[in-house]
Structure 1
Amino acid sequence: MRVDVVASPVRYRKMPLFLLCALALLPAIGLLSVHWWLRDEADRYDDTRSAVESLSADDDDRPAASRRDTERAKRAAILSTSLFDYRRLPDAVAGSASINRLEVQVARALPVIDGRSCAAVSVDGIAVGAVNETASVIPASTVKLIVAAVALEVLGPDFTYATSVRIPAVVEGVVDGDVYLVGGGDPLLTSDDYPIDDDTLPAFATTSLDVLADALVAAGVERINGSVIGDGTRYDDEFVIDSWGDGVAFNDAGPYDALLVNDARVRGRSGVQDDPNVGAAREFARLLGDRGIRVADGWGSGPASTQTTVVGTVESQPLGEIVREMLTNSDNNTAELLVKELGFAETGEGTRFAGLVVIDRVLRQWGVPLNGVRLLDGSGLTPTTQMTCQALLDVLQRSRGTVLQTSLPIAGQTGTLRDEFIDSGVEGRLFAKTGTLGNPPSDEPPLASKALAGYVSGGNGAAIEFVVILNADEITEEDYRSIWATFGQRFATFPDAPPTKDLQPR
């Protein structure tokens, strides 16, 4: 017998299939709903903004209650915009586009930098281009940027120097002994009638030495039966630096000490005095003579007697102003004295070595990469000083928005940049420290150096930070100006992005 078994057809339930289809459609419906909602929000935002602008057009002529209604409308317009709407970030979008375009421009300029030179550029700390940025180069006077940044950090922008005059007792108008002019490190102590306007770059933010001469008059002094002694013992007696290049000492820099008047010059005499303390004492004696106070035994130098009393003190301008003078005029004496003051402030030793140790410590604390960096002075006049573009750029980035940034020479307007970038796209926008060493061309090593480091204002709150250091056997004016112009033309395009208003929907 054969039995055939025939199974009934299998029937599947339809409900799960419908559920799967519905689940697949839900995201699409959700996205479509969000799109419609955002479109409505954009229209409502634009309508509200138009209403606000029409209300604001004659704001000043409306009563206070009406102006309050406008302010509420403005706040409503802001709150009506989605948290993640790009209208909340138009500046960021424009800034990013501008940085990207600058990066392209800088890339076109970098090929002019050869293997012995370096360059590095950033915008608000964001790198946009560099070449040989970690190579050791001769930085020349851009070293003053390091000195300024550390001095502002350690001493503070409100720090002031004090210079005083000490005398024995005054008896019937007579001082029976020596009068002491005691230096406190002020690099800009100046006689009111000294012809500093004849200098190529006249000092400013100066401290009046005449105040101390007037203090002796006020104390009733008519005659000094002794000498005027200049006391610069706050610092050591290194008046110039042996490692400077030939012909620098007593010409481009020095002599300097804790007592320095008129950059070691005396009115009516040519050149500088060999000992700045003696020069200061001699100039002070001249001022006393002009006031009818007779000095019997001339002038000299040495430590002040403890048997004397302070009868007058004059304070310098705040350090922020002194830094501005140093950077604007590339003041070598001020830079070297700042280094010694750093040493004195931290260790009680007013020496170049002590100051350089402080600078090294602060740079390390800031995380500045110091491989390839070797600082030997504060002025940058030592040709064996070494720097990297990256280290200098790091300091500029950290100093953005501080006194240092606003203290630099301005292209086409002030200081060492007064004759540079005139009628260019960066005139009045580029703020930078120059550096020059070994120019005009020299046949002897080390290499010549021409440097430029600072900022370019974008006019939108952002700023370019840049360092360009050229080293070569010789660097002519035509050479460096051509390279500076190349970078200046690229920097002039910044910011180069659609205006914020163009990033908003129409």
Structure 2
Amino acid sequence: MLGLVALVPALILLAVHGWSSAQTDESTAAPPIDPTVSVPTPTPALSTSLMTFRRMPTIISRDLNGAAFEAEIAPFLATLNDRSCTVISVDGQEIGARNADIAVIPASNQKLLVAAVALERLGEDFTYTTTVRAAAAPVDGLVEGDLFLIGGGDPLLSSNWYPDSNLELHPVTSPTSLDALADGVVAAGVTRVAGAVVGDGSRYDDEFFAPGWGVGVQGLEGGPYDALMANDSRVLGEDLRAADPNAAAAREFVQLLEARGVVVDGDAVSGTTPADTVEIASVASAPLSSVVAEMLGTSYNNTAELMVKELGVTDATPGSREGGLAVIRQQLIDWGVDVAPIVLSDGSGLSLDNRITCSALASVVQRYDSDSPIGMGLPVAGQTGTLSDVFVDHPVAGRLRGKTGTLNNPPFNTDPPAVKALSGYLPVEGGGEVEYVLILNGPTISDQSEYRPIWNQLADTLNTYPAGPTPAELGPR
């Protein structure tokens, strides 16, 4: 074996020598140097040999620091109760874990599964499209009959007033403009609609809320939602979210059309679009990578639920929660994840019926890194999204990225337990990163006085890596 190892560098040198000789043979004469042309000073070549450990700094650093990091992790693992779990790894290699295979309630860490599978199945450049159709093109500005507003599942469809309305804790940052769609209708020559404006969300089924949501969640934390939803089912001038997102979007669209001088004779209603219609206008969303980033950064529940339904769309049936969750489960199987303990009830993680293992979630987190659409979409400690006020003065501020998750448990002395979760990445200087999954379940674990010390200890522990030489220090010179 040693002879083979010794032979490899020799073969490489021999190949390089042969290539160099061939290049020399092909050049019969060197071109003359033009004294009037300025020749730039070449960048100094790295002095590091091709056959040195410095060509693999991330791997070498992980191997040198693994044992020390494992020792640092041990005290943190011992603090977790028997209903909580964690997995900590470096560049996909597990360093420490506790209760990794027990089924726990994930809260909004469920969105990591949805995001990963959506990117895998739909692609990061996928866009949602909302269209307006009619039985025929306008004649002299008149649309005979109804105008159909057809939803494509876009969770960020918004009127221009909505992002600045302060109606949401985290405003929409990548909205799809419903105003632009109204402008498109006017640009198509429409000045009057003889019929109604019909909101059509038939791309998905009519389940507006997922089951298993706790008291006070419906209509506040999530839903109602459908393939056609604008402003999270809000209409300018109406105090509450509308019960039917399709009809609400139609009412909002009528206001936008009328503000542009279009006369609508009929009402705003919900319904379906006939087969034989022509397109009047359309508007596309931001790419899926941006939609995923918004969902993860602000923990946007409606986006997660609609993304699940989009995964469930087939040629024969509308998108459904059950269909989308089946796609997620199958993708996890395809990735080699043990799904036996996993229960998928919704996409947002609001359901108390969801169950996942830290081992399963860690395997998904490890498929990506902090520079991927998943990693780039996560909140940054002390700076953005749901981590903007967490770890503000900690050394991991501006570096650690993580998906938060919270479920309260009134009354606290009965099951199911409350949940506090945090999973993501801590990049390492010079390359590589620490991946972590932490899901805390307990009667009062969502109280800040209880979970913050655990989160702080996690951050302290992660920040000890690497104790020895970093990839930057081991890299080529």
TM-score by length of 1: 0.82
Distance 1:152 1:439, change over 3 A: same
SS at match of 1:252: coil
Pairing partner for 1:101 from 65, 68, 83:
68
Amino acid in the other structure paired with 2:313? F
SS at match of 2:42: helix
The structure in which a higher percent of residues are helix is 1
Deviation for aligned residue 1:459: 2.1
Pairing partner for 1:277 from 228, 240, 246:
246
Deviation for aligned residue 1:221: 1.9
Map of 1:460 onto structure 2: 430
The aligned length equals: 434
Map of 1:164 onto structure 2: 131
Distance 1:418 1:176 in 2: 51
Distance 1:466 1:499 in 2: 19
Amino acid in the other structure paired with 1:384? D
The 8 Å contact of residues 179 and 224 in structure 1, kept in 2 or not, is answered as: yes
Map of 2:441 onto structure 1: 471
Distance 1:187 1:459, change over 3 A: same
Distance 1:315 1:460 in 2: 39
Map of 1:122 onto structure 2: 89
- 1:138 matches 2:109: no
SS at match of 2:366: helix
Map of 2:148 onto structure 1: 180
SS at match of 1:344: coil
Map of 1:448 onto structure 2: 418
- 1:249 matches 2:218: yes
Distance 2:149 2:459 in 1: 48
Distance 1:435 1:310 in 2: 41
The 8 Å contact of residues 196 and 202 in structure 1, kept in 2 or not, is answered as: yes
Distance 1:152 1:423 in 2: 33
- 1:406 matches 2:406: no
Pairing partner for 1:363 from 320, 325, 332:
332
Q: Aligned Cα RMSD in Å?
A: 2.1
Deviates more, 1:358-367 or 1:170-179: 170-179
Map of 2:469 onto structure 1: 498
Pairing partner for 2:353 from 384, 408, 411:
384
Question: Larger C-alpha radius of gyration, 1 or 2?
Answer: 1
SS at match of 1:497: coil
Deviations 1:224-264 (A, max 9, x none): 22211100000000011232112111111000000010010
Distance 2:64 2:431 in 1: 15
Distance 1:289 1:90, change over 3 A: closer
- 1:220 matches 2:220: no
Sequence identity percentage = 46
Deviations 1:267-299 (A, max 9, x none): 111120000000100000010111111212220
Deviation for aligned residue 1:86: 5.1
Map of 1:191 onto structure 2: 159
Distance 1:207 1:501 in 2: 42
Matches within 5 A, 1:19-418: 64=39, 67=42, 70-71=44-45, 74=46, 77-79=47-49, 83=51, 92-167=59-134, 168-198=136-166, 199-345=168-314, 348-400=317-369, 401-418=371-388
SS at match of 1:323: helix
Distance 1:301 1:90, change over 3 A: closer
Amino acid in the other structure paired with 1:358? V
Greater RCO (CA < 8 Å, at least 6 residues apart): 2
Gapped runs of 5+ residues in structure 2? 1-37
Gapped runs of 5+ residues in structure 1? 1-62
